[in-house]
Structure 1
Amino acid sequence: MQHVKIPDDRIGVLIGEGGETMREIEDRAEVRLDIDSESGKVGIEKVGDPVLGLKGPDIVKAIGRGFSPDDALRLLDDDMMMFDIVDIDAAARNKNDLRRQKGRLIGENGRTRELMEELTGASVAIYGSTFGIIGGPKQVAAVREAAEMILEGAPHGTVYSFLEEKRNELKHKGLEYHPYQG
């Protein structure tokens, strides 16, 4: 059994109304979840296909890091789907800088976050001091690099150009990812 700790305010999202989300994760990932709502500790036990079961902890972590259950369950759509986290706090000098960095990643009216998703097909979530990414390896790598550029102070226009270039490379190589439409 593997254990993952998630924030208290995300436990309800993991469980879902009447336990619906928890049951869907258990059914689709072939795992059993043991959720301690007091501590936020979640035990994940593989009960079926071991390959599917390997995705269980990442699904739980993704929900804990602000992703919707639908986005987190995309990890099961394909063996290549992955979950990655960028620690915004590591790039921030203090609380005000953390807030500024998060604002830069989100962009005006959410435009930067939205463009990262549109241009790569990855899903992103900013929660607490983390920036989470779900997608295929090439999509995750492109978004991670774009996020790191922003955290290092690159102008947004430069980052958008980089993402457009990556999208064109993915199209050219036939690796364009079409996001799951739930």
Structure 2
Amino acid sequence: MQHVKIPQDRIGVLIGEGGETMREIEAEAEVRLDIDSENGSVAIETVGDPVLGLKGPEIVRAIGRGFPPEDALRLLEDDMMMFDIVDIDAASRNKNDMKRQKGRLIGEGGRTRELMEELSGASVVIYGSTLGLIGTPPEVEAARTAAEMLLDGAPHGTVYSFLEEKHNEMKHQGLQYHRYPGSGSDSGSESP
């Protein structure tokens, strides 16, 4: 049995309408969830395949860090899918600096976060004081490095160039997970 604590405002998302999301996680990951709505504590017990059961706590953590349930459930797609967190607070000097750092990661109109997602192939969510990532190891590594570059003060253009280079490397090596099937060309630009 494992225990995960999630923010109060994410409990409803974890449970879902009429318990639908909770039941889907239990069925897909072969776990049983015991959610304490008072303090945000979630007990996760594996009731089936132990390998699948290991993904249960990660799915709960991902939802707790702001991912929609359908993105968190991507962790079950194959053994290679992983969840990672970048602590924005640790890279910030104070509250105002954290706000500025989050702004750098999100970008104007959310464009930086979107490009990070499109070019790395990882799902990227900024919630509270963290940036969450879901994808294969190369996707997560590319997005994490890009986020860390931004947090260290690198210009956005430099980070975008890095991401385009990683995108092309992964595509060349056949490693890119296609998050946006049918959304246009592989370069992340829109098709006519």
Provide the TM-score with structure 2 as the length reference.
0.93
Partner of 2:156: 156
Q: Distance in 2 between the 1:85 and 1:26 partners?
A: 23
* Mapped contact 1:74–1:180 kept (Cα < 8 A): no
Q: Distance in 2 between the 1:33 and 1:160 partners?
A: 40
Could you tell me which amino acid in structure 1 is paired with residue 64 of structure 2? G
Could you tell me which amino acid in structure 2 is paired with residue 74 of structure 1? R
Could you tell me which amino acid in structure 1 is paired with residue 34 of structure 2? D
Could you tell me which amino acid in structure 2 is paired with residue 172 of structure 1? H
* Mapped contact 1:85–1:133 kept (Cα < 8 A): yes
Residue correspondences, number:
181
* Mapped contact 1:75–1:82 kept (Cα < 8 A): yes
- Give how far 1:179 is off: 1.5
Provide structure 2 residue ranges, at least 5 long, that are not aligned to the other structure: 182-192
RMSD (Å) for aligned C-alpha atoms? 0.8
Give the 4+ runs in structure 1 shifted more than 6 A.
none
* Mapped contact 1:146–1:163 kept (Cα < 8 A): yes
Partner of 1:111: 111
Partner of 2:83: 83
Partner of 1:22: 22
- Give how far 1:110 is off: 0.2
Partner of 2:127: 127
Could you tell me which amino acid in structure 1 is paired with residue 139 of structure 2? Q
Secondary structure in structure 2 of the residue aligned to 1:33: strand
Provide structure 1 residue ranges, at least 5 long, that are not aligned to the other structure: none
Q: Does 1:143 align with 2:143?
A: yes
Could you tell me which amino acid in structure 2 is paired with residue 128 of structure 1? G
Provide the TM-score with structure 1 as the length reference.
0.98
- Give how far 1:112 is off: 0.4
Q: Does 1:57 align with 2:57?
A: yes
Secondary structure in structure 2 of the residue aligned to 1:131: strand
Residues 86/10 of structure 1: CA separation in 2 closer, same or farther (3 Å cut): same
